[in-house]
Amino acid sequence: MLSQLRRNLWNWLPAFLEIAEAGSVVGAASRLGLTPAAVSRTLGLLEVALGAAVFNRVGNTLVLNAAGIALRDGVREATRAVDAGLSDSLGDPFLRPLRVASLGVLTELVVPALLDLKRTHGELVPEHHNIGPSDANNLLVRGRLDAAFYYEEVTAENVVARRLGQLGASIYCGGS
């Protein structure tokens, strides 16, 4: 019984994570390319199997409750562990995609560095995401980004921030 429950849970967790991020079944369905009814049914199956609700319903918004937060955090850790395990089992940390985000001027530094790394490690698949810091925070905590480069500080829990250096800024004006 428990092994069957665990097997089913793995099938339902992607929908759970998307609902947690989107805050609604409709938003999660859009991200997953599914109907809202299918996502709602999946959430219902998950909650029945767990014997507990994982969201509080506040109007049309779904907000994680304590059980949902614990499940979300566990699933994030599992996602990171599976990614690392796949890479390790293949014997090379550069065999997995390197998912990096930046925006604006920092991208002019990040993309050439990714290309240099690709030249050094031919099997590496660099993925650059040109997204804002709040989107990067969400992807980092979900294990869908490996690194992000921004002027703004990271605000998400469980994300380690390291200052790599300082960049200056200048203002240039043309004559009239």
Angle made by CA atoms 53, 56, 58, in degrees to the nearest 5: 150
pTM of the model: 0.56
Q: What is the pLDDT of residues 105-152, one digit of tens each?
A: 888 889 999 999 888 888 788 999 999 888 888 888 887 888 888 887
State which fold the 91-163 domain adopts.
D-Maltodextrin-Binding Protein; domain 2 (3.40.190)
Domain boundaries, the chain: 2-75, 91-163
Question: Residue 150 carries which side chain, given as an amino acid letter?
Answer: Y
Q: What is the pLDDT of residues 13-56, one digit of tens each?
A: 999 999 998 899 999 999 899 999 999 999 999 999 999 999 99
User: Among residues 101, 54, 93, 100, which one has the least CA distance to residue 74?
Assistant: 54
Instruction: Tell me the CATH number for domain 2-75.
Output: 1.10.10.10
